[in-house]
Structure 1
Amino acid sequence: MDTGTVLLLVSSLANCVQARSYQNEFAVFVPAGEQTANKLALKYGFHNMGQIGDLDNYYLFEHRSLSKRSANPSTHHHFLLTDDPEVTWFEQQKELRRVKRDYQTVKKRDFAGDASDIWDELFEELNSEKSIYNQSKIIVRRNGLQFSDPMFSSQWFINGGGRNGADMNVKPAWDKGYTGKGVVVSILDDGIQHNHPDLAQNYDKFASTDINDSDPDPMPQDNGDNKHGTRCAGEVAAVANNGVCGVGIAFNASIGGVRMLDGVVNDAVEARALSLNPDHIDIYSASWGPEDDGRTVDGPGPLAKRAFLNGVTRGRKGRGSIFVWASGNGGRHIDDCNCDGYTNSIFTLSISSASQTGFKPWYLEQCSSTLATTFSSGTPGQDDSIATVDQDARLRPHKICTDQHTGTSASAPIAAGVCALALEANPGLTWRDMQHLVIMTSRPGPLLAESGWMTNGRGRQYNHKFGYGLMDAGGMVDLAEKWKNVPLQHVCQSPVIISDLPIPGEVGRSVSSTIVSDGCAGTLNVVNHLEHIQCKISLTFVPRGSLMLVLTSPSGTRSTLLFPRPRDTLGQSFDDWPFLSVHFWGEYSAGSWTLEVINMGADRNFNRGQGMLHKWQMIWYGTEENPVRIPRNSPIPSSSQSSFNPSISSSLSSIFQQSFQPAFPQSFFSNPARRKK
């Protein structure tokens, strides 16, 4: 059997496996509301499971006579819903492959020179005196800080244990009295053990739910596979000075959890998690995403996209929900996090990882959508991992803490904790304000030993591995205290460039296309000061993983939108995929922007001459006025203030509609009363 036949069989098998994912649930948009939805469900044999999260008039219909998993969609019910004038949009739900972004294969015994459990002696001492639930008399002092939490000394990422004494610079924020009080964080994961002695005091039931079992209690299964959410929660809000485990970055924040990964995940599940109680929850932290296998290109479905949009336009009473996302663990497969539609969204704070010694960990993915970095695990035997709480249903003292939390999974909750401190310092921050603060205060310094640093047209250093550098809690709260909300976001779009340019088959050769922008000058959409840049690209090339995409700004800043992915051998195209870059932050949009498509593949290319850059379009997000407006001696905005402006929603909805067709047809936005044709 020749190589081509093998590849064809593998591809067919992969498609077949992927196709066996249709469920007996339908997401249905019924503008007339719940009563009409109930009538429709009854009419067609469905059971209305209720509204999908906070998405107005989106309902989940379940048909209990259909198979819960099928290789084929139910065409009969598609016809019924399509022909009903009360249904504007619907979609049969499909199972999604979503993975947690940690690595639990590294054991303590794998660390060089660590032959025993360093905590055994400590726990024996605690148990011999009194229960671990009571206050311990042990005071741990590190880097000018002292706590009675026994694992604080192992929390090197907050007590000066990194390269040259680096850490997340939390002490200055704590010294000012900021501990996350009044801020609500929810961990979207496999649940959290809310009766854990280091979490119970801060647990918030209104920031929690169990989507997998359809009840309000996010308690995880105690089967060894569901520790992830509990560990993440501990990084954010583990109680301080209670003699248990360690200290959370925002140890007085309210912490909740959504149990959603311990079962079948679909678009509706994600939307329910992302839109849970958005006027109560301030920060959603997610350490999961599509497979980080070096060949997957996947992202949120139409419901999850709508949940993101609702969150930033309506959440937190109009100031916008803060979505913190782990950038991905596909480093060993040379994956690129710009092929992940969650981390490359303008709505998410995409967070990468740095090792204790200040270098890129082996699992790190490079991409142009990463905003910043926090510490996490690195090389076993050389770098420590992250110490936090651990899940154990029996609450055994020697099982409820860990120093082995890993991956970008551990980085995102640290970032969420830092953001919680900034929100306490200034509750009036919008979702865009938070991104500005992160970019303006993150430090390249502790990570400069790693290669890849460049400087953009505004003099800011950036790196495809680390974004703008290591987050700085002290710097964040200092700037938050005097920060004035950024101006209204503008969105400027270029025309779609139908290029149809052949992509060279020879290795190292490239093709380029240029867009000349005036930044929408003279219109309501003028963008003078850049934030995000999106390039929506459609191309065909076999294998897709051989390509590298580079965008160059009028200032000469070069941002790699896509690095080669050697494992992406079966992929053939990108279809309006929205590559994102944050590397041009603060630059001007006017001038010539050049996209370069480079063939970085192997010499043996059997499809030479068949690649084509079909079309591309640029979308510039930013402001007309200078967004950095820090007044002197001005009062901090109160929590009741809101920067919500209806035109923000209108502007983003326009881009949303164009970016995500055909999931939402034109009629969905222009006339919601019209039914889907």
Structure 2
Amino acid sequence: MIKHNSKLLPLVSACLMGIAGMSNAQNNSTPPYTNLFADKTEYLSRDKDPLYPMQWHLRNRGQNAEATNGGDKNNDIAATNAHVKFRVLGESVKVAVVDSGLAIRHEDLAPNVLRGRSRNYADNGRRSTDPTPPRSETGGDHGTSVAGLIAARGFNGVGGRGVAPLAKLMGFNWLENQQYEYWVESHGGAGVTDDALVINQSYGFSPIWPVNFDSTDNLNEEDHLEDVTTSANNNRGIAFVKSAGNSFRYLRNTAGVASFNINRRRYTPDFIFSADSRDTNKTQAESLPAQVAATEPSNASFYHTTISALSAAESKDANGNKNGDLLSSYSTVGSSVWISAHGGEFGEDDPAMVTTDIEGCNAGYARNDQSTSFNDGTHPLNQGCNYTSTFNGTSSAAPVASGVFALILDANPNLTWRDAKDILAKTATKIGTNFKPITVETGSGEFVAEPGWITNAADYNFHNWYGFGRANAAKAVKMAKSNRYNPLPPVQNTGFIAYNGGNASIPEGPNGVEQSLRVRNDLTVEAVQVKLSINHGRDADLAIELISPSGTSSMMLTPRSMLVLDQSSRIDSQAANALDTQTNFNDTVLLSNAFYGEPAQGEWTLKVTDTNSGEFVFYGYRRDTREFTPIRTRNNNRLGQLTDWSIRIYGH
């Protein structure tokens, strides 16, 4: 995580042009719904939530959710089966939503909101228990929409339905006042959120430089997360569920930190786009991401479960044929992704997510996003503008996954957060099976930059885009309830084990440089971190792979990313200081989940490849001119140097 004086942002929308009645909330005393439904027929006929048929992520029957196109049948998380067949609704689980706010009196949230348990950090230090945003808010409230995806009250004949429709909600608007003290309090702090079993974090940061992981803030946060994930909730811990990001195509030039020399003039873009994103001959399935998830430090933490986003339907190739790619067009990806869940598209051409909004047609998304009739107050199911059909982003995917976590932890009160992660990996649905490896030309041969699906030595399937696959709530709940499931032993880690063989030059071309070290710890891998330092003239050229003793290779950093601060002609010193920037890899940490279940003991090999000996082109975009400008950079004039690296393995 960056310094706390550098504001993290809610990951609400990946659309660039988008950038251009109740009293006090209380615990509901209604008896558990699990006792009310004798069979599936009765369940489906009783108190239908009017918006549930639009919520394709729960049960996808091809509905369009007010978009032009519909989804693909059965491309969902099987939540309805989890509710119906196993009668698990999340009622024993508390979920904290750390975000921009939470409308605690919303008609479809209030029955699940815990009285007096939320916090408002934007009230001049008073810390009231009401984080409801002001009704003058014109952009919608991100946290309110996130909360609805997790736990909008189900079966009450109102609105829609959350993934865990009886889970208990708490809201913390930490994004409005990002003090470290408030971060601790809202992220498992004693007496405030330490009894939450799930904490949703639909926020993030997309750096255009490799971040130093060993800053004081990062280390303090890691210590806190290690503590609460092992000790909270009678040692069940807390599942911290994190959005991967919305930067597959572009990144923000945060605070205008980077300027580039274009025709001898200083050019400061608002956004930086990859060349692949501007190539009309390439589909997303043929493109490399602008951001790799783990370049944001919190996505490289073992204690966060990072979620990528899926669309309602497969994307199409240039001929209009579906190509098997289910990744949302904006979703950040990488080896730190654990699982994928639905985030949708933008709600006009293709379905977005139907969820809660600030109530009233003079507030919320209804006030500034009337791209569909559902949002403008004319739709018969949303005349009060209390809901939206255009919410999207990995900000949606994370709460969908949080809801599944809540179902798993409700299904079996003996499970820890790591058990829930383990179950998600074991029960995930493999998707995008038509994916073909993506290669780049290095100048002296092709290099496989994104291999797609791999099967590791423990027989787990893994993909940098989808993690272990699409979350399957029904299968996960079934496994959680089974007496055949064996919970994981306590977690251990090796600490960082350093390579001591000295520096190495990084040649240009597909062969790269390799260095190996031996791990003696007898562990079963859960995740592997690599900490490394590299001096190189063009960070975006680099590909970083790790190869396990079992022979599994994980691409931890794909090349052609928008780590381009080192190419700027001028770096704004004030912004750079606030953002704690650097232009080289200096104790930068990446994480991979691809080795899950493999033995840790043996020789691990790091491979660093300079994949580009020619010109590198990316694009700037300015909101004032609405123009894209190509930014051309020359090749580095010296070979890069791998100066230091180490690995840390978490396992049992």
Question: Does TM, scored on the shorter chain, surpass 0.5?
Answer: yes
Aligned to 1:365: 332
* Structure 2: distance between partners of 1:94 and 1:170: 37
Does the 8 A contact of 1:353 with 1:376 survive in 2?
yes
Mean CA deviation greater in 385-394 or 315-324? 385-394
* Structure 1: distance between partners of 2:247 and 2:196: 30
Aligned to 1:248: 162
1:569 equivalenced with 2:564 (yes/no): yes
Aligned to 2:459: 459
After superposition, the Cα gap between the structure-2 partners of 1:210 and 1:305, relative to the gap in structure 1 and judged at 3 Å, is farther
User: Residue 537 of structure 1 aligns to a residue in which SS?
Assistant: strand
Aligned to 1:581: 592
Aligned to 2:149: 235
* Structure 1: distance between partners of 2:600 and 2:407: 33
1:269 equivalenced with 2:182 (yes/no): yes
1:490 equivalenced with 2:492 (yes/no): yes
Aligned to 2:50: 150
Does the 8 A contact of 1:388 with 1:405 survive in 2?
yes
Aligned to 2:410: 424
* Structure 2: distance between partners of 1:196 and 1:298: 41
1:592 equivalenced with 2:587 (yes/no): no
In the alignment, which of 282, 291, 305 is matched to residue 197 of structure 2?
A: 282
1:200 equivalenced with 2:110 (yes/no): yes
After TM superposition, where is structure 1 displaced by more than 4 Å over at least 4 residues in a row? 104-108, 141-144, 379-382, 393-397
Aligned to 1:479: 479
Once the two structures are TM-superposed, the CA of residue 298 in structure 1 deviates from its matched residue by 6.8
Once the two structures are TM-superposed, the CA of residue 548 in structure 1 deviates from its matched residue by 0.8
Matched to 1:448, the amino acid is: T
The correspondence of residues 29-108 of structure 1 with structure 2, limited to 5 A, is 94-103=4-13, 105=15
Once the two structures are TM-superposed, the CA of residue 101 in structure 1 deviates from its matched residue by 1.2
Mean CA deviation greater in 499-508 or 152-161? 499-508
Matched to 1:428, the amino acid is: N
Aligned to 1:165: 74
If the length of structure 1 is used for normalisation, what is the TM-score?
A: 0.68
Mean CA deviation greater in 378-387 or 435-444? 378-387
Q: Deviations over 1:547-567 (max 9, x none)?
A: 110111122211111112443
User: Residue 205 of structure 1 aligns to a residue in which SS?
Assistant: coil
Aligned to 1:644: none
User: Residue 498 of structure 1 aligns to a residue in which SS?
Assistant: coil
Matched to 1:159, the amino acid is: R
Q: Deviations over 1:327-366 (max 9, x none)?
A: 1111112101011111221111111111111422221222
Aligned to 1:342: 298
Aligned to 1:614: 643
After superposition, the Cα gap between the structure-2 partners of 1:505 and 1:143, relative to the gap in structure 1 and judged at 3 Å, is farther
After superposition, the Cα gap between the structure-2 partners of 1:241 and 1:106, relative to the gap in structure 1 and judged at 3 Å, is farther
Once the two structures are TM-superposed, the CA of residue 178 in structure 1 deviates from its matched residue by 0.7
After superposition, the Cα gap between the structure-2 partners of 1:423 and 1:207, relative to the gap in structure 1 and judged at 3 Å, is farther
Q: Deviations over 1:128-178 (max 9, x none)?
A: xxxxxxxxxxxxx99994552221111011112353422111122212211
The correspondence of residues 129-144 of structure 1 with structure 2, limited to 5 A, is none
* Structure 2: distance between partners of 1:106 and 1:392: 26
Larger RCO: 1 or 2 (CA < 8 Å, sep 6+): 2
User: Residue 249 of structure 1 aligns to a residue in which SS?
Assistant: coil
1:257 equivalenced with 2:171 (yes/no): yes
Aligned to 1:552: 547
Matched to 1:478, the amino acid is: K
Matched to 2:53, the amino acid is: S
Does the 8 A contact of 2:188 with 2:194 survive in 1?
no
Matched to 2:391, the amino acid is: H
* Structure 2: distance between partners of 1:142 and 1:541: 63
After superposition, the Cα gap between the structure-2 partners of 1:298 and 1:350, relative to the gap in structure 1 and judged at 3 Å, is farther
* Structure 1 unaligned spans of 5+: 1-20, 22-92, 111-140, 521-525, 624-677
1:439 equivalenced with 2:425 (yes/no): yes
Matched to 2:83, the amino acid is: W
Aligned to 1:665: none
After superposition, the Cα gap between the structure-2 partners of 1:601 and 1:569, relative to the gap in structure 1 and judged at 3 Å, is farther
* Structure 2: distance between partners of 1:610 and 1:240: 59
Does the 8 A contact of 2:14 with 2:246 survive in 1?
no
After superposition, the Cα gap between the structure-2 partners of 1:94 and 1:464, relative to the gap in structure 1 and judged at 3 Å, is closer
Aligned to 2:533: 538
* Structure 2: distance between partners of 1:303 and 1:506: 38
Mean CA deviation greater in 457-466 or 599-608? 599-608
Q: Deviations over 1:45-71 (max 9, x none)?
A: xxxxxxxxxxxxxxxxxxxxxxxxxxx
User: Residue 149 of structure 2 aligns to a residue in which SS?
Assistant: helix
Q: Deviations over 1:465-510 (max 9, x none)?
A: 0100001111111111133431122222464113443433535451
Aligned to 2:100: 190
Matched to 2:76, the amino acid is: D
Does the 8 A contact of 1:143 with 1:159 survive in 2?
no
Aligned to 2:433: 448
Once the two structures are TM-superposed, the CA of residue 578 in structure 1 deviates from its matched residue by 2.2
* Structure 2: distance between partners of 1:463 and 1:143: 39
If the length of structure 2 is used for normalisation, what is the TM-score?
A: 0.71
In the alignment, which of 300, 303, 308 is matched to residue 352 of structure 1?
A: 308
After superposition, the Cα gap between the structure-2 partners of 1:193 and 1:210, relative to the gap in structure 1 and judged at 3 Å, is same
Aligned to 1:661: none
1:405 equivalenced with 2:354 (yes/no): no
After superposition, the Cα gap between the structure-2 partners of 1:249 and 1:566, relative to the gap in structure 1 and judged at 3 Å, is closer
User: Residue 183 of structure 2 aligns to a residue in which SS?
Assistant: helix
After superposition, the Cα gap between the structure-2 partners of 1:209 and 1:142, relative to the gap in structure 1 and judged at 3 Å, is farther
After superposition, the Cα gap between the structure-2 partners of 1:612 and 1:158, relative to the gap in structure 1 and judged at 3 Å, is same
Does the 8 A contact of 2:187 with 2:199 survive in 1?
yes
User: Residue 559 of structure 1 aligns to a residue in which SS?
Assistant: strand
Aligned residues: 491
* Structure 1: distance between partners of 2:393 and 2:212: 20
Matched to 2:418, the amino acid is: R
After superposition, the Cα gap between the structure-2 partners of 1:510 and 1:195, relative to the gap in structure 1 and judged at 3 Å, is same
User: Residue 331 of structure 1 aligns to a residue in which SS?
Assistant: coil
Aligned to 2:469: 469
1:329 equivalenced with 2:283 (yes/no): no
* Structure 2: distance between partners of 1:346 and 1:531: 9
Does the 8 A contact of 1:493 with 1:617 survive in 2?
no
Aligned to 2:26: none
* Structure 1: distance between partners of 2:458 and 2:115: 44
* Structure 1: distance between partners of 2:182 and 2:210: 21
Once the two structures are TM-superposed, the CA of residue 615 in structure 1 deviates from its matched residue by 1.3
User: Residue 477 of structure 1 aligns to a residue in which SS?
Assistant: helix
Residue identity over aligned pairs, in percent, reads: 26
User: Residue 595 of structure 1 aligns to a residue in which SS?
Assistant: strand
Once the two structures are TM-superposed, the CA of residue 588 in structure 1 deviates from its matched residue by 1.3
User: Residue 160 of structure 1 aligns to a residue in which SS?
Assistant: coil
After superposition, the Cα gap between the structure-2 partners of 1:288 and 1:565, relative to the gap in structure 1 and judged at 3 Å, is farther
User: Residue 429 of structure 1 aligns to a residue in which SS?
Assistant: coil
User: Residue 374 of structure 1 aligns to a residue in which SS?
Assistant: strand
* Structure 2 unaligned spans of 5+: 21-39, 62-70, 251-289, 315-325, 364-376, 378-382, 437-451, 567-582, 616-633
Does the 8 A contact of 1:234 with 1:388 survive in 2?
yes
